[in-house]
Amino acid sequence: MPYASVANYPLRQLAQGVHRYLGEWLRTCAVYLGIAVIVTVSMGLALPGLRDQALQVHTALLAALAPATVPPAGSDTSYADADTSADIDLDVDKPSGTPGAVALAVPEAGNNATAFLTPLPHPGIKTAPHADVVSNAQTEALRNYISRKYKVASDATAVLVNTAYKVGRDLKIDPLLLLAVIAVESRYNPFAESSVGAQGLMQVMTSVHQSKFDAYGKKGALDPVANIRVGAGILKDCIKRRGSVTGGLACYVGASGANDGGYGDKVQAERRRLALASGIPLARD
């Protein structure tokens, strides 16, 4: 072999190696680029259908929570049907023209009573007569926290928050405690049902407490407002019976003694998170 050929042999090997490396790199890039194009096209074709399905589910849920009729804007907002009526009482002053946090009107308990899904602006929520008012910012922060964490629609969150505060005021129980129980029991799914038959937001055993739902019509435990009212009443009774919130939570979850398997700690931890996220002071137990 001539000397020149021997001298050029390493260079040829190096060039061939670089050529092979570049070829492999280009083939790999082409494969990944092809995959990216296929995925992009597939997502472009699939996403509109998924979006439509999500909108249909959202509309169906709101329709399930809404009453048969909703008062038109500007009309009297008292709830009434053919047999009964219950005036909406939010215990708040509503100066005309004053923007405020959005809350949902919740009627008093009565035959076939349910929640309105029509937002009513007001400057805040009073937890009890002469108590401090929960500010606009606090109400909005509480709703946003629940809506983001538990993937709940904003309008539905307003119903639940307003109901918890109205029921908490009526029963003299901390609304944040009710909201924390809902979070632990059902993660704000009004249609949740356990294997033992507990239903709704607060997972009430309907087989035991069915009579308590009779005043709320056919929806019963799956009506969010009715479920909160009945569940809060059961929790209030448990607290009274056991003498403390801790004991009441153990009673609510069905523990015969103090050991509730950590249920009370979970509820109290979420209660503190709700207070921290919203800036609403915790009520003393």
What are φ and ψ of residue 21, in 5° steps? -60, -45
Paired sense of beta strands 133-134 and 204-205, if any: unpaired
| Residues 137, 144 contacting (CB under 8 angstroms) | no
Q: Which CATH class is domain 78-278?
A: mainly alpha
- Express each pLDDT in 191-202 by its tens digit: 999 988 899 999
Residue 262 has pLDDT above 80, yes or no: yes
- Express each pLDDT in 136-174 by its tens digit: 899 999 999 999 999 999 889 999 999 999 999 999 999
| Residues 5, 11: Cα–Cα separation, whole Å | 10
- Tell me the pLDDT band of 100, cut-offs 50, 70 and 90: very low
- With a CB cutoff of 8 Å and minimum separation 6, the contacts of 108 are 86, 87, 89
Helix intervals (H) in 66-90: none
Side chain identity at residue 90, one-letter code: L
Question: Which residue reads 């190096």 in tokens?
Answer: 14
Residue 106 has pLDDT above 50, yes or no: no
Between vectors from CA 190 to CA 184 and to CA 196, what angle results, nearest 5°? 70
Angle between helices 224-242 and 154-171 (to 10 degrees): 40
What are φ and ψ of residue 149, in 5° steps? -70, -40
| Residues 197, 208: Cα–Cα separation, whole Å | 10
Helix intervals (H) in the chain: 3-65, 136-150, 154-171, 175-186, 206-209, 224-242, 245-252, 263-278
| Residues 153, 278: Cα–Cα separation, whole Å | 18
pLDDT of residue 51: 65
The residue ranking higher by pLDDT, 25 or 277, is 277
pLDDT of residue 127: 45
Least confident segment among 115-119, 146-150, 222-226, 227-231: 115-119
Average pLDDT, the chain: 74
- With a CB cutoff of 8 Å and minimum separation 6, the contacts of 234 are 202, 204, 209, 212, 252
Closest of 101, 99, 105 to residue 75, by C-alpha? 105
As given in the structure block, the two tokens for residue 166 are: 């109205």
Q: Domain-by-domain residue ranges, the chain? A: 1-65, 78-278
Beta bridge partners of 101: 122
| Residues 111, 83 contacting (CB under 8 angstroms) | yes
Question: Which residue reads 């056991």 in tokens?
Answer: 242
The per-type count for the chain, helices as H runs and strands as E runs, is 8, 8
pLDDT of residue 253: 92
Least confident segment among 70-74, 130-134, 197-201, 253-257: 70-74
Neighbouring CB atoms inside 10 A of 121's CB total 13
As given in the structure block, the two tokens for residue 17 are: 């190696």
Residue 11 has pLDDT above 90, yes or no: no
Neighbouring CB atoms inside 10 A of 119's CB total 16
pLDDT of residue 168: 95
* Alpha-carbon distances of 101 from 148, 202, 216, 223, 275, rounded to whole Å: 17, 25, 28, 24, 17
- Express each pLDDT in 49-88 by its tens digit: 666 666 666 565 555 554 443 334 333 333 233 333 333 3
